[in-house]
Chains A and B, each alone.
Chain A
Amino acid sequence: MRIAIIDTSTTRAAIISDGLREAGLDDLVIIDSGGRLVAQLEAAAPEVVLINLENPSRDVLEEFFAVSRALDRPIAMFVDQSDAESTAAAVDAGVSAYIVDGLAKQRIKPVLDLAIRRFQAFARLQAELHEARSALADRTTIDRAKAILMKRRGIDEPAAYGLLRAQAMRSNRRIAEIADAIITSDALMGDM
């Protein structure tokens, strides 16, 4: 079964195709949605197309399928419409699947389930990356705020950190937010 993957994120496309290969589906075509989508799809002639929900080419894809039908070529449709639950799950995960009409439900279901899991894995990866990045940013902010406090108040690092933490607890805010406020006010007040 040939599966086409249309994705603007090459990382996500790689994650999906790895999963499909592990499941023994190795007739995969990755389509560059920045290029001439229709020509590429025509050449690939896939039985299933996986595309992410955010992809602006989805309207182009639906047009292509509608025209293909008029030309008496295989009909493609949105994911198994009789199964609203798995369609909703797919939309939730951010994946849209189009399948060639007549493809047995038993055959498309595992592909779709896999795609959903892979999309979710990618989303988790993104979230973790974001978290790691913001944790790093927080650390830098706190270090700078500590340095300001140490200089202004003539205290050592543990004392500066203690001040930040105490203020955060009193005002029910994150330490990084307090640190950010100190940096901002320091920038505004200068050497006053």
Chain B
Amino acid sequence: MALDRVRIGFLPLVDAALPILAREQGFAKAEGIEIELVRDMSWATVRDRLLYGHTDAAHMVAPLALATALGRGRPAVAMAVPFVLGLNGNAITLALPLADQVLDGDSLGDPVVLGARLKTLALARAAAGERLRFGVVHRYSSHNYMLRYWLAAVGIRPDVDIEIVTISPSFAADALAAGEIDGICVGEPWNSVAVDRGVGRIALVTAQIWRRGVEKVLAMTADTLAQRGDTVARLIRALHAAAAHFVDADSQAESAAILARPEYLAAPVDPIARAIGDRVRLVQGAEPVHVPDFMFQYREAANFPWRSQAAWLYSQMTRWDGTPFSAAEAETAQGVFRPDVYRAALAGSGAPLPGASSKIEGAIGGTGVAAGSTQGRLILGRDPFFDHRAFDPDDIPGYLKALP
């Protein structure tokens, strides 16, 4: 039987692992799919190839899928996200001269303590007319929102006290080395590449800002989902199997070697292996430290597209674009995430399926809670934001009003 071809666009990042492993380890073939991967260097290109039919689906920063559906910066195209490729896995890396001033010891920074020090320094720099400059990978990226969420919560006004610019992930280390920027919020392996080159020090991981922050998603146009529903369901099953394989300790070295190949990340294997194993080398030459939940690819139904995650991203989009909250836009944004498609694809597979499609984000503390599920047993672990605010998707205006 001929295999069903699916072309998937991606950027060279560790969290592009699931489509790559689905192809390389035969999970796609087992579902009758042949995955073809198309690598790009910018998110704008990944999006354009998707919209104009060069690709059928894409590895995409979650907010960009929402921005495309909402017509931010370009005409709106209805989008669908039936699968989350993973949570977190990003870090904030500071240029060494800045790191020396605000970090001490050889452990990860504390978001509150580091934030207070950074604030003092940022304000002094701004007063001297030379604002600190941070790089994120795209205007509509989780990196941008995580960084801004943290900065604002510690009293630093992004765009006023500091500057945030866009920089392609693969060039982040170069920009740090050249002194063009003072810090980056980027996905792996690019923080570790900067560390190994001796041009930066990892200060925080984004899991410290929001323990269960949604990161890359599998995005496609709503048209593609409508026309190729059966193929999409098989793709979801293949990606889910790849996620289970990804977190299996026995397969990590092999996964890292595959991702490092020239046609995928074209990057050194060592930092990739560290990221997969939740180990982070903070500074050049140091022993990597274990960071629990650094990258979250499978457990606790991590791949389930919670509508409340889309709602949180939308809240940040209105916050930082300076556009007013709109109930219609909030509904469109949440409608991009398709828990119904995820459930239908994995029904009968043994994968835990949450009964609800939305939850209060950041409200689970202690050792976690058991969540209602229509299939399988599901325990959701702690998911706090570092400032302990919870996000209720049914009251976005109230949430926005309470934010600094």
Contacts and interface: CB of A to CB of B under 8 A. Distances in A.
Interface in A85-133: 87-88, 91-92, 96
Interface string B289-316: 0000000000000000000000000000
A77 B168 contact: no
A41 interface: no
Contacts of B54: 91-92
A56 B45 CA distance: 9
Contacts of B168: 56-57, 59-60
Given A59-B137, A59-B166, A91-B54, A53 B48 contact: yes
A81 B42 contact: no
Nearest to B170: A56
B285 interface: no
Contact of A58 (B45, B74, B171): B45
B229 interface: no
A134 B42 CA distance: 31
A63 B165 contact: yes
Interface in A50-82: 53-63, 65-66, 70, 77-78, 81
Contacts of B74: 77-78, 81
Given A59-B137, A59-B168, A91 B42 contact: no
A96 B75 CA distance: 15
Interface of A is mostly: helix
Given A66-B139, A70-B322, A81-B75, A56 B41 contact: yes
Interface in A129-166: none
B145 to A, nearest CB: 14
B44 A62 contact: yes
A128 to B, nearest CB: 24
B41 A88 contact: no
B263 interface: no
Nearest to A85: B52
Contact of A59 (B42, B53, B75, B322): B42
A145 B330 CA distance: 68
A96 B40 contact: no
A91 B138 CA distance: 20
Nearest to A77: B74
Contacts of B41: 54-56
B48 A57 contact: no
B186 to A, nearest CB: 12
B48 A96 contact: yes
Contact of A56 (B42, B49, B52): B42
B73 interface: yes
B128 to A, nearest CB: 21
A38 B167 CA distance: 12
Contacts of B42: 55-59
Nearest to A38: B165
Nearest to A52: B45
Contacts of B139: 59, 62-63, 66
Contacts of A58: 42, 44-45
B27 interface: no
A62 B74 CA distance: 10
A59 B52 contact: no
Contacts of A57: 42, 168
Contacts of B75: 78, 81
A65 B171 CA distance: 21
Contacts of B137: 59
Contacts of B43: 59
B171 A63 contact: no
Nearest to A70: B322
Interface string B29-40: 000000000001
A21 B41 CA distance: 30
B48 A91 contact: yes
A83 to B, nearest CB: 11
Given A58-B44, A62-B44, A87 B52 contact: yes
A81 B48 CA distance: 12
A56 B48 contact: no
Nearest to B167: A60
A59 B166 CA distance: 7
Contacts of B53: 88
30 contacts: A53-B45, A53-B49, A54-B40, A54-B41, A55-B41, A56-B41, A56-B42, A56-B168, A56-B171, A59-B43, A59-B44, A59-B137, A59-B166, A60-B166, A60-B168, A62-B166, A63-B138, A65-B73, A66-B73, A66-B139, A70-B322, A77-B73, A78-B75, A81-B74, A84-B52, A88-B52, A88-B53, A91-B49, A91-B52, A91-B54
Interface of A: 38, 53-63, 65-66, 70, 77-78, 81, 84, 87-88, 91-92, 96
**Cβ-closest 3 pairs across A and B:** A56-B168, A56-B41, A63-B166
